[in-house]
Amino acid sequence: MTYTTPYLELYPERIKANAKSIIDLCHRHGIQVAAVTKVTAAHDVVAHALEDAGADMIADSRITNLRSLGESGIALPRLLLRLPAPSEAQMVVRNSEISLNSGLHTLKLLSEAALAEKIRHGVIIMVDVGDLREGIWPDQAVDLVKAAARLEGLEVLGMGCNLACYGGVIPSEANMQKLIDTRNQCRKATGLPLDILSGGNSANLPLLACGQMPAEINHLRIGEAIILGRNVLDRSPWPGTRQDTFRLFAEIIEVGRKPSVPIGERGQDAFGGTTDFEDRGIRKRAICTIGRQDVVVDGIEPEDKGITVLGGSSDHLILDVEDAATDVKVGDELSFFPGYGALLAMSTSPYVAKVVVRDK
């Protein structure tokens, strides 16, 4: 079948194999895995691959994605990753079994919504151990857990933290111990078991693999390491995984030899930026049918190592093809491997077709 470019190929068997490798590693250490679907916009084929690989939960940041996961037949508990908005309390309890939380106001609204639905909603209280994104400060955690425990519509399942997403703080024995100590203080103060200790995300895997993860950590929320097979601390390949789980294809619409530095007085580009150009003389260049509206242009790697991404505008991807392995021409399709940001953008773009490819 022929597809209009740009299109994104996804390989569910490869994703499933990645997931099984990482989930098995976690399970051997007594850690449950909430497999994260958000970078694929909760594509149902990806979600079922994660379920088949043995994930314990399915997690996403968008309520609409969690709803679609339920509608696609996913039987696993659904975890809402982003802190719930107060205005979405009813939707949260209807479309997720568990959510991450850090504030009493929202917890009260979730409790009210759960009671109205005649259910109990599970919550994990988030603690900020240094990355400075979501989470209550450790010295305020006891009071919040006490208050949450009194809300009839909620079950306080445990505590969690997030690292390496905003501040780039690397998971360590020290910050994991801070989470453990905070949980233990809350346990003592409330009598709640607080069984779940959700220590973070894909960034925690190196700590686990080198044997330094404290045994009390029993839950991780893993996305990129499974989906793209990457160690998220340095983007190196994660052992036992594949990195060819997704491929972007874009069609060439112009080829020509041009200078490598723009000619004339320069101001800002269409996105308000300025670029320093290296003068490499006259070079063969190509333009493809995708741009910054649909993809992070510096987050894609040409499959042909002789091709270089120069940049892009809203709808044009500009390439240096002087050293391409083949004599590229207008109408050819070029393939690229996406990084996390690029995949995230393409997954949510209606202009990029999604094509499921089954390995034979």
The pLDDT assigned to 3 comes to 80
- List % helix, strand, coil for the chain (3-state, nearest 5): 30, 25, 45
Whether the CA torsion 333, 337, 342, 343 is positive or negative: it is positive
**pLDDT tops 70 at residue 200:** yes
| pLDDT tens-digit map of 261-291 | 999 999 998 899 998 899 999 999 999 999 9
* DSSP tag of 314: S
- Position 355 confidence tier, pLDDT thresholds 50, 70, 90: very high
Return the amino acid letter for 215: A
**Average pLDDT of the residues in 201-213:** 98
Instruction: Please identify, in words, the CATH class of the domain defined by 246-356.
Output: mainly beta
Written as six digits, the tokens of 182 are: 């905070």
Is 305 a residue whose pLDDT tops 80? Answer: yes
What is the rounded distance in angstroms from the CA atom of residue 78 to the CA atom of residue 56?
A: 10
The count of other CB atoms within 10 Å of the CB of residue 261 is: 12
Measured CA distances, 346 to 35, 79, 299 (Å): 20, 23, 11
Beta-sheet strands, E only, within the chain: 7-10, 32-36, 57-60, 78-80, 98-101, 121-126, 154-160, 196-198, 219-222, 230-231, 236-237, 246-259, 282-288, 300-302, 308-312, 317-320, 333-338, 353-356
Whether the Cβ atoms of residue 212 and residue 173 lie closer than 8 Å to each other? yes
Query: What is d(CA 268, CA 273) in angstroms, rounded to the nearest whole number?
Result: 5
Q: pTM of the prediction? A: 0.96
Fold type of domain 12-232: TIM Barrel (3.20.20)
CA-to-CA dists, residue 284 to 119, 260, 306, 307, angstroms: 63, 9, 12, 10
- Give me the chain's average pLDDT, please: 97
pLDDT above 70 (res 1): no
- Looking at per-residue pLDDT, the higher value among 271 and 94 belongs to 94
Which residue has tokens 């445990």?
Answer: 158
Contact present, 251 and 222 (Cβ < 8 Å): no
Amino acid at 312: G
Determine the pLDDT at residue 30: 98
Q: Tell me the mean pLDDT in the region 104-111.
A: 98
Report the 3 state secondary structure along 116-143: HCCCCEEEEEEECCCCCCCCECHHHHHH
The residues that are catalytic are 38
Q: Where are the domains of the chain?
A: 12-232, 246-356
Q: Do domains 12-232 and 246-356 have the same CATH topology?
A: no
Spatial CA neighbour of 93 closest among 105, 72, 108:
108
Distance CA 4, CA 6 (A): 6
The arithmetic mean of pLDDT across residues 309-321, rounded, is 97
DSSP 167: S
Q: How far apart (Å, rounded) are the C-alpha atoms in residues 304 and 327?
A: 12
First-last CA distance in the chain: 16
